[in-house]
Homo-oligomer: A and B are copies of this chain.
Amino acid sequence: MDPLNYTLYINGFMSILAYFAVKNIIPKMSSMFIEAHLFGNDLCKKDQTKKIPESQGVIGGCVYLIILFCFIPIQFSQYKSSSAINPHLSFIDHHLFVQFLAGLLSICCMLFLGFADDVLNLRWRIKLLLPTLASLPLLLVYALTYDNTTIIVPKPLRSLLGFSIDLNLVYYVYLSLLAVFCTNAINILAGINGLETGQSLLICLSIIVYNCVELVRQTDHYHSHVFSLNMMLPFLAVTSALFHHNWYPARIFVGDTFCYFAGMTFAVVGILGHFSKTMLLFFLPQIFNFLYSCPQLFHFLPCPRHRLPKYNQRTDLMEPSTFIIPNDIGGLAKLMLKTLSLLRLIELRESPKSTNQQCSNLTLINLMLVLFGPMHESKLTRLLLIVQFGATLIAFFIRYGLSEIFY
């Protein structure tokens, strides 16, 4: 039996320990967070005065790092030898070791940045700059250990472009943007109980299934998929524990800390596991949410600070939140609104206080409420998680169905 597979079982066992650790530590540390002013009020509940501890992702992230710190010696001790320059440590092993370290470094950085963001409320440009820097060790390790920047051209385009193209530096820009996208993608599809942790759980499970399928198919990236599984199993564990406390009615909030931590962990396995394109498919709802948000994010349309759905105290249901369409919006913004309205992707309504129209905020969460009407918060989260699951099915169909036609 392959020694790497054997360590997978140990990793699995340690992950179970991690689950119980996080589940039990969280309630014990709540008061510490509240004393440190790290709490929020749940604005979608009848009682909005209750202090709910924020940034609890930091507990999950720390346990995750500790588990992997303890796991590295188990995985690599077999290669230990007594000489300084070690002939038994083959390049593959060495590369795996370096990848582990670089991955953990990037994850640790983002966890730290996420926590700093929760505490200090950093500005947007810092939020975009720091993930880029945090992904540097990752890209460097990719360059030093793998450095494959060649992509295969889809069949219909081969007469034009040839069989493959070496994208070179462009590929590294793509990888860097991927890291920035992943770290922010979960953060902008968030805000209702259980959504951040729930979607991360589903993406994580999708990656685990994908890795297992590839291992069973015995493709040539054996080590990459084992690497990914070793990173994903503890992540599944700590996220499940967070999800347990974060599900409706939430007793904790996971904060930007968790969103950044989760995003970077996915970026690490996608990049170093060499399946970044497949991984992007698992992010379809987040990609849709980002594209759908663009008119507001890039200020073609007004963008309120919070775009969370509105809670109706009387009915206990969530309703789409709105912004007021100003009179002086540009032609492009008008065209966007018209198109979205024709596609029934927004809800336009008369404003009670002014003559201007109101438009539902452009987020996937609001879209669900526009399409299916006001609903209870837990039902809304469930619906969004079903969408996430649907995306996984589509991703597998594209990966194993469509791609056979194009490649």
Contacts and interface: CB of A to CB of B under 8 A. Distances in A.
A141 B94 CA distance: 11
A28 B66 CA distance: 34
B108 A112 contact: yes
Chain copies in the assembled complex? 2
A84 B150 CA distance: 12
A37 B120 CA distance: 9
Contacts of A144: 76, 79-80, 86, 89, 97
A161 interface: no
A58 interface: yes
Contacts of A140: 72-73, 76
A146 interface: yes
Given A36-B37, A109-B108, A82 B147 contact: yes
Given A105-B104, A115-B112, A120-B32, A136 B70 contact: yes
Most chain B CB neighbours (cut-off 10 Å) among A66, A73, A144, A148: A144
A364 to B, nearest CB: 30
Contacts of A109: 65, 108
Contacts of A387: none
Given A33-B120, A101-B101, A105-B108, A80 B137 contact: no
Shortest Cβ-Cβ A-B pairs, 10 listed: A112-B112, A101-B101, A69-B136, A105-B105, A85-B91, A108-B108, A37-B37, A36-B120, A36-B119, A32-B120
